Amino acid sequence: MSETVHNRIALLRAERDVTRRQLADALGVHYQTVGYLERGEYSPSLHLALRIAAYFEVPVEVVFSTSPFPRIGEWSA
């Protein structure tokens, strides 16, 4: 069983024109932590995951998943 946590942090940041540093400052973490999260090199604590979802004002499952998200071109209309 894989313990990889997939996320859409980079996509959400791009949609909202938020830099890694801006997100990190809002969350109280180092900007490199945001990069590690986006690349899947670090899995967030539950507390951090909930804070990220709250920052983007979406449910946590919109940001994080235990299975890969479909690529944008693979979404059905």
Question: Alpha helices of 1-77 — where are they, by DSSP H?
Answer: 9-16, 20-27, 31-38, 46-56, 60-63
Domain range list for the chain: 6-60
pTM of the predicted protein model: 0.85
Beta-carbon contacts of residue 31 (< 8 Å; ≥ 6 apart): 20, 21, 23, 24, 25
What percent of the chain is modeled with pLDDT above 90?
A: 75
pLDDT, tens digit, for every residue of 49-71? 999 999 999 999 999 998 888 77
2 has pLDDT over 70: no
Q: Which CATH architecture has domain 6-60?
A: Orthogonal Bundle (1.10)
What percent of the chain is modeled with pLDDT above 70?
A: 90
